[in-house]
Structure 1
Amino acid sequence: MAEEATLQVSASETIGTLLARNASRYGSSIALREKERGIWKESTWAEYVEEILACAAGLEKLGVEPGKAVLVLGDNRARLYAGMLAVSLLGAYAMPAYPGATLEELQHFLGEVEIVAAIAEDQEQVDKILEVRTAGASGIAHVIYDETRGLGFYEDDGLMSWDHLIDIGRHDLNEDPHRRESILNRTKPDDPAIFMHSSGTTGKPKGIVLSQKNVLAAARNGHAAGAFEENEEVLAYLPMAWVGDFAITVAAALLWRFTVNVPERQETVVRDMREIAPTFYLAAPRSWDQMLTTIQVGMENSTPLKKWLYRFFMDRAVAAETRKLNGESGGALEPLGRLLGEAIVFGPIKDQFGMSRLKNAFTGGEAIGEDTFVFYRALGIKLRQLYGQTENSAINAIQSPGEVRLHTVGKPVPGVELKIADDGEILIRSDSVFKGYFNKPEATAEALEGGWLRTGDAGYVEENGQLVVLGRVSEVMYTAGGERYVPNYIENRLKFSPYIKDAAVLGAGLDELTAMVCVDFEAVGHWAEVNGVPYTSYADLSQRAEVATLLHGAFKRVNNALTEPLRLQRFVSLPKEFDPDDGEITRTRKLRRKVVEERYADVVAALYDGSKEVHVSAQVTYETGEVGKVERSLPIREV
């Protein structure tokens, strides 16, 4: 234990040397658990590294080498993580894609770099890759699959199971006793760790290659800032193509020897999380909101006594936490009240949702609503905000446990320099910053200047060193009257309402601001059931007058925080959600503003020409890939 406490991490470490260290010094410790058919199967570091090495040797036999890429497609699976690490050991590009990636998106990836192989989760993802090949795209000569179900009679060229690949690799490793050491020590810190992509809000996603030095520097910086400790228990449920997952589930897990727990399916995450009870948990605000909604729904359906106890203790804890966040005295529940609340209310809720052992809880990606943030703090979950981007390996600034404020994202972590440019843009310099966009020198020159990364975010630093992020610099807009505003800032505050899932604020070059919103079907649907409001579909529910009253409340709360010229005047509730398959938002749910404004041009016009309603024919892409339409007359509602 003393050795672990004094462990020093060298800046010359690579993924290979860390795997070798973990296998030799901590070989019997659990590296991975994966749930399969209701049973958690464990792999030690020694077993995990051996499978990674066999995978690397097998992939090299298939032609994977520096300069070439391997596509990784599917939900979180232990073998897909092992495959990514194996590719990095060969100095090649591991390129994870979102499970819902369209054929067009996959073809875009094929146009960037030579993809010689793909590692797919199951039949669905294999079919998608084979369809890309059938469409005439070059590359992807070999397709390796994890789940064998449904693939037994496939006879396509280059198709093989994971087990077959591992057999090839093990045979190769056993032929040469020095092969393992050679693979582990082959790469250097500047060699690639992962090939990711930007969100693509303004065009095609740009390739971002993060080096092993980049991702391990971010993991060192996060540890130094107190974001996580050694031997954390984490749940691998975030999309594998999102940098936040790689930063925690791969880089930090490797460096600080986390135990990574892979849920059986995305649908079982809540149940699996309860069984694991992780010590570290990172989630987007939307996930925290959904969990809060589930808790509130459960309490509404419980007995009168339980509801009374819940409200009695939670109301007092929320009030105490609110005072504390506002810097007021009396910012804590009385010791006896806290103890009783923990035993009767707080503890059981945390246990039910797998948060009983949670020490380090974070939210990131966008602003989180005050009600949600305060609720978890009141529950005893020390929720903190984290700020980062793909270009800098996900970790720039975090809040410390004792310096939490709703409007800030904390101080820069050790190892990260931060300054504000004359135009208000946040600039970052660190070993965690990438070298540039893949084969895009012009975009790279715009993003990197004098060793500083131009984050594209506008913000400022308070006197106490806390960073405040306002929104994207490119989205700073002006009304016809010259009033400056950041639409994303207002949109995030609209989404603080549990009833609003997405929003698009309009008004650039116009006299006033308006908005289009998409209701949250789960939250609004539950509210409708509790309050006896009938509906037949999302399109029907979104237009109910009773739901409009809920939305009015959200708009009025936001307007109270805005100056008079920037207050929202009218809104429309759309008959469908913004969908990445329709190109309206990215896979990380960032708004593609230009697409939305063009697609709903008639709605935008109606919001400003005095119309009382507007007819909409909205595009819908179904799971089969077929495209349909939702037609509806939408009332223009005054705030």
Structure 2
Amino acid sequence: MAIEVEPDTFPKLLLRHSKLRGERPALREKKRGIWRTVTWRELADEAAALAAALSARGLQRGAHVAFVGDNRPRLYTAMCAAHWLGAVAVPLYQDATADEMVAPVQSAEITHIFAENQEQVDKLLEILPRCPTVRSIVYDKDRGMRHYDRPELVSYDTLLKQGRELAAAKGSDLQAEARRGSGQDAAFLFLTSGTTGPAKGVVLTHGALIGRALVAAATESLTDTDVAMAYLPPGWIGQNLFSYVQPMVVGYCVCCPESSDTMLADMREMGPTYFLATPRVLEALLTQVTMRMEDAGGLNRRLYRSGMAAAHRIAACASTGEAASLGDRLTKSVCDLLIYGPLRDVLGLSKVRVAFTAGDAIAPDLVTFFRTLGINLKQLYGSTETGFFVAMQRDGQVKPDTVGPAADGVELKFTAQREILVRSPGMFSEYYRDPDSTKRARDAEGWFHTGDAGYLDDDGHLRIIDRVKHIGALNDGTPYAPRLLENRLKFVSYVKDAVVFGDGRDMVCALIDIDMAAVGRWADKRSISYTGHADLASQNEVYGLIADSIARVNADLAQDDALSKAQIHRFLILHGELSADDGVLTRTGKLRRTVIAERYRPLVDAMYGGHATVSVDVAGGHTGAATTDMKIRDAKVLAGTKIRSAA
């Protein structure tokens, strides 16, 4: 009797799903208001046809294929086709500029590219003279493409039609091709976020990714009846793991919303049971909840606040092993029925069985907030190089200020500087064509140096402090970790982003990026007129609003012995939002601290120089001829139990 070998590549997994659950949904997409379903059998058939056409167009095993566009079934079908032929998938960020695409296309010697629409095609045609290896650009949506006449261009529909004709004649050869290869073959080349320098290409094998997905699936008891949502950037490894790798392992369905504008409504219709969100997404959802409750009637608003307060007291009791009061338990139960349940439904999260947050550090209060709403939100820690699943919180053991214990199969150790070292079966093969960087990042014993500082608590849960290079101290010796302070500020619904400074300084100062929607609504209710972001940010009333918010953050910091001397003393509200297009954020929304420090140096110097205003370029950040004055304000800091104004 033959023993069935577990599939070790994505094409083999796809063929198994096509055989075992062929009529079950693999992908769903909302298009023009209608949900369209692709079954596992249809997915395998279409991937085979595309693979036949790509092979005829010269795609070879080991070659690199790029993908640029929003989450769409055709994007993932094209990935299946590339893997079918043994090619390596290179997902790019859809909002990247043309110039940002040059380096990965050149370094990976991309030969074929799948682009969603005219916008992406235009960027690719712009860089084509600098990327001579590109042989074919396949576009999906043909709007605006009718008069494009370039030999490299071919529509997805045309390619699919050609492939179906070829597949009909070469079916057995295609099936054999899909079964070639092994788990040791490269499957993806992901780009790092680039927070500390140029992005590097991280090579991950089929086996490494499948192994980590199996661990996560076993930990969370995932089944083929689960439903996930694909809405985060496809260029990020996290989205690919949840919308491609894990579905290939488990067989669950992935839903693609119609657009970012309809995401919440689409979520309510698709009812995800398995959900991934970055801290930035959760902060935006928090702002929506806060604004909705501000608009609610007085009784609902009071009940909501009472429920939140009760939930925090219950959580505090749970951490100490004490029993919560009957009154708090009753209040929370009533709120769950009357307030939290409807809120979960509005957010489209009423059916979520497990939700993870990953991609950046998150404020513990934000985790507590969503868990209070009845959403099983847990933290997940990892990096592109480690296959993402390094540490993860387990049900019944969620501690908001940790990322949980190490995932099965993962080893952790720490340097004298508390840098986290990881050894994992999901480890990357190499930085593509960069052996020196590979050797610096992973030592001879296989330990990967994450660059993150942290430690294990008494329960074996991993606590993340910050990036090692960002940890410092104030001049009085007070430890300084900017991420801890910024996350507390971003928990304020009126603050979209915050950048703090303090290493080697006498005090902490902050640049504040306000949430335009939340602050704008607040201003409208108070009949405060403004003409745009910069005008709103300069209003004295808005400075008062942010000052009050920072005062509350400082009051919380004062209760923490480790952070009480790291309260925010001065702040400035930026006239424009921080943006990846301006180079101050990565495409995943992380701060580029070196760029920010240089870009906003005049503002930072003015805050530490004791000035009340600073003249800046009207475009937002540099000194120049056309200038405007930006205000700098003192915050309130807590000295003992008495609030005083900072000097």
With the length of structure 1 as denominator, give the TM-score of the two structures: 0.92
Residue 586 of structure 1 is matched in structure 2 by: 586
Alpha-carbon shift at residue 478 of structure 1 (Å): 3.6
Distance verdict in 2 for CA 1:229–1:458, change over 3 Å = farther
Structure 1: how far apart are the matches of 2:470 and 2:166?
53
Q: After superposition, what is the alpha-carbon deviation per residue over 1:281-305, rounded to whole angstroms, capped at 9, x for unaligned? A: 1101221222222223223334455
Structure 1: how far apart are the matches of 2:597 and 2:344?
42
Alpha-carbon shift at residue 47 of structure 1 (Å): 0.6
- Which residue of the other structure, out of 612, 629, 632, is the alignment partner of 2:628? 632
- Which residue of the other structure, out of 477, 486, 495, is the alignment partner of 1:491? 486
Q: After superposition, what is the alpha-carbon deviation per residue over 1:333-392, rounded to whole angstroms, capped at 9, x for unaligned? A: 877766654443332222222222110012122333344322322221121111111112
Residue 520 of structure 1 is matched in structure 2 by: 515
| Bigger shift: residues 210-219 or 66-75 | 66-75
Residue 443 of structure 1 is matched in structure 2 by: 437
Distance verdict in 2 for CA 1:370–1:429, change over 3 Å = closer
Structure 2: how far apart are the matches of 1:618 and 1:85?
48
| Bigger shift: residues 285-294 or 438-447 | 285-294
Alpha-carbon shift at residue 569 of structure 1 (Å): 2.3
Residue 404 of structure 2 is matched in structure 1 by: 410
Q: Does 1:606 align with 2:602?
A: no
User: How does 1:97-246 map onto structure 2 within 5 Å?
Assistant: 97-133=92-128, 135-226=129-220, 228-246=222-240
Three-state SS of the structure 1 residue aligned to 2:107 is coil
Q: After superposition, what is the alpha-carbon deviation per residue over 1:127-146, rounded to whole angstroms, capped at 9, x for unaligned? A: 1111222x543232211111
Alpha-carbon shift at residue 418 of structure 1 (Å): 1.6
Structure 2: how far apart are the matches of 1:260 and 1:521?
32
- Which residue of the other structure, out of 41, 45, 49, is the alignment partner of 2:44? 49
Structure 2: how far apart are the matches of 1:183 and 1:630?
63
Structure 2: how far apart are the matches of 1:501 and 1:618?
21
Structure 2: how far apart are the matches of 1:94 and 1:179?
22
Give the residue type in structure 1 aligned to 2:70.
D
Residue 597 of structure 1 is matched in structure 2 by: 597
Alpha-carbon shift at residue 9 of structure 1 (Å): 11
Alpha-carbon shift at residue 573 of structure 1 (Å): 1.4
Q: After superposition, what is the alpha-carbon deviation per residue over 1:296-349, rounded to whole angstroms, capped at 9, x for unaligned? A: 322333445544554555554454345435654217887776665444333222
- Which residue of the other structure, out of 433, 457, 462, is the alignment partner of 1:462? 457
Q: Does 1:431 align with 2:419?
A: no
Structure 2: how far apart are the matches of 1:105 and 1:439?
19
Distance verdict in 2 for CA 1:552–1:312, change over 3 Å = closer
Structure 1: how far apart are the matches of 2:235 and 2:475?
40
Decide whether the 8 Å contact of 2:283 with 2:490 is kept in 1. no
Alpha-carbon shift at residue 480 of structure 1 (Å): 4.1
Give the residue type in structure 1 aligned to 2:508.
L
Three-state SS of the structure 2 residue aligned to 1:119 is strand
Distance verdict in 2 for CA 1:480–1:311, change over 3 Å = closer
Structure 2: how far apart are the matches of 1:507 and 1:311?
34
Alpha-carbon shift at residue 237 of structure 1 (Å): 0.7
Structure 2: how far apart are the matches of 1:608 and 1:347?
47
Residue 24 of structure 2 is matched in structure 1 by: 29
Give the residue type in structure 2 aligned to 1:601.
R
Structure 2: how far apart are the matches of 1:124 and 1:464?
50
Alpha-carbon shift at residue 505 of structure 1 (Å): 1.9
Structure 1: how far apart are the matches of 2:321 and 2:143?
57
Distance verdict in 2 for CA 1:325–1:61, change over 3 Å = farther
Q: Does 1:252 align with 2:240?
A: no
Q: After superposition, what is the alpha-carbon deviation per residue over 1:249-306, rounded to whole angstroms, capped at 9, x for unaligned? A: 1111110111111111122111100001110111012212222222232233344554
Structure 2: how far apart are the matches of 1:546 and 1:355?
35
Alpha-carbon shift at residue 23 of structure 1 (Å): 0.6
Decide whether the 8 Å contact of 2:452 with 2:466 is kept in 1. yes
Three-state SS of the structure 2 residue aligned to 1:607 is helix
Q: After superposition, what is the alpha-carbon deviation per residue over 1:230-261, rounded to whole angstroms, capped at 9, x for unaligned? A: 43101111110111111111111110111111
Structure 1: how far apart are the matches of 2:321 and 2:401?
13
User: How does 1:184-583 map onto structure 2 within 5 Å?
Assistant: 184-226=178-220, 228-304=222-298, 306-307=300-301, 310-311=304-305, 313=307, 315-325=309-319, 327-330=321-324, 340-449=334-443, 450-556=445-551, 557-558=553-554, 559-560=557-558, 561=560, 563=563, 565-583=565-583
Three-state SS of the structure 2 residue aligned to 1:361 is strand
Structure 1: how far apart are the matches of 2:317 and 2:439?
46
Alpha-carbon shift at residue 618 of structure 1 (Å): 6.4
Structure 1: how far apart are the matches of 2:92 and 2:222?
26
Distance verdict in 2 for CA 1:308–1:102, change over 3 Å = same
Alpha-carbon shift at residue 513 of structure 1 (Å): 2.6
Residue 79 of structure 2 is matched in structure 1 by: 84
Structure 2: how far apart are the matches of 1:80 and 1:12?
23
Give the residue type in structure 1 aligned to 2:339.
V
Decide whether the 8 Å contact of 1:458 with 1:473 is kept in 2. yes
Q: After superposition, what is the alpha-carbon deviation per residue over 1:439-477, rounded to whole angstroms, capped at 9, x for unaligned? A: 111211111111111111100001111110001112222
Give the residue type in structure 2 aligned to 1:544.
Q
Note the residue ranges of structure 2 that are not aligned, 5 or more in a row: 636-647
| Bigger shift: residues 610-619 or 46-55 | 610-619
With the length of structure 2 as denominator, give the TM-score of the two structures: 0.91
Distance verdict in 2 for CA 1:314–1:231, change over 3 Å = same
Give the residue type in structure 1 aligned to 2:591.
L
Three-state SS of the structure 2 residue aligned to 1:423 is coil
Alpha-carbon shift at residue 434 of structure 1 (Å): 0.4
Distance verdict in 2 for CA 1:582–1:76, change over 3 Å = same
Cα-Cα RMSD? 2.5
Distance verdict in 2 for CA 1:264–1:332, change over 3 Å = farther
Residue 65 of structure 2 is matched in structure 1 by: 70
Q: After superposition, what is the alpha-carbon deviation per residue over 1:535-560, rounded to whole angstroms, capped at 9, x for unaligned? A: 22111122222222232234332442
| Bigger shift: residues 9-18 or 57-66 | 9-18
Residue 625 of structure 1 is matched in structure 2 by: none
Three-state SS of the structure 2 residue aligned to 1:32 is strand
Decide whether the 8 Å contact of 1:52 with 1:82 is kept in 2. yes
Give the residue type in structure 1 aligned to 2:580.
P
Distance verdict in 2 for CA 1:302–1:477, change over 3 Å = closer
Q: After superposition, what is the alpha-carbon deviation per residue over 1:95-149, rounded to whole angstroms, capped at 9, x for unaligned? A: 111111011111111221211121111111111111222x543232211111122
Q: After superposition, what is the alpha-carbon deviation per residue over 1:199-219, rounded to whole angstroms, capped at 9, x for unaligned? A: 111221111111111211110
| Bigger shift: residues 27-36 or 554-563 | 554-563
Alpha-carbon shift at residue 620 of structure 1 (Å): 6.9
